[in-house]
């Protein structure tokens, strides 16, 4: 049994080809992906609807989390630590580079001082757009 098969089972999901390939895509690319991104990575492989439902299931079961951005399309990224169906919290910063168009998770966590009083927080999003260090050095050349 492969590591990806294991990951699906341990999160309470059936092992299917579509799920293995989508999970693989996220692991290989290590950037956030939207449904249209995945269609480009896996052309003529699965139906659009299958990919949408795979992403939906992955979010429900703590394999992926959604990223709120300004693009309109919903981007997803791998949950780094022990997320599951019931514990699924994402307080880290996401960075999107407008040159290479990559969105990545970071280890930078949201500071506690920012939490609002009286509001019951269920979902958090910390997101920045700009230019990543790689693309900055390429531009200077």
Residue 100 makes contact with a copy of itself by CB under 8 A: no
d(CA 138, CA 48): 36
- 22 vs 95 by CB, closer to a copy of itself: 95
Contact 4, 24 (CB under 8 A): yes
Residue 124 makes contact with a copy of itself by CB under 8 A: yes
Residue 37 makes contact with a copy of itself by CB under 8 A: no
46 binds, among a copy of itself, DNA, none (CB under 5 to 8 A by kind): DNA
Indicate the SS3 state at residue 47: coil
Residue 8, CB-side half-sphere exposure with 13 Å CA sphere: 19
Residue 49 makes contact with a copy of itself by CB under 8 A: no
Smallest distance from a copy of itself to CB 51, Å: 16
Pairing, β 64-67 against β 75-78:
antiparallel
Residue 123 makes contact with DNA by CB under 7 A: no
- Give the DSSP H/E element, type plus range, for residue 109: strand 103-109
Which residue is associated with the tokens 């990224």?
77
Site string for DNA, 13-32 (x = CB under 7 A): xxxxxxx-------------
- Of the candidates 10, 30, 36, 106, which one interacts with DNA according to CB under 7 A? 36
């Amino acid at each position: 049994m492969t590591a990806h098969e294991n990951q699906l089972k341990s999160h309470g999901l059936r092992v299917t080809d579509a799920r293995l390939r989508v999970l693989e895509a996220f692991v290989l690319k290590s950037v956030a992906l939207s449904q249209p991104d995945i269609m480009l990575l896996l052309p003529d492989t699965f139906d659009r609807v299958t990919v949408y439902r795979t992403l939906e299931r992955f979010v429900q079961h703590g394999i992926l989390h959604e990223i709120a951005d300004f693009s309109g399309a919903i981007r997803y990224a791998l949950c780094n630590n022990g997320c599951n169906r019931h514990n699924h919290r994402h307080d880290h910063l996401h960075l999107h580079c407008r040159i290479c168009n990559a969105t990545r998770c970071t280890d930078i966590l949201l500071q506690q001082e920012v939490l609002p009083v009286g509001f019951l927080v269920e979902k958090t999003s910390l997101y920045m757009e700009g230019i990543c260090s790689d693309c900055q050095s390429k531009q200077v050349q």
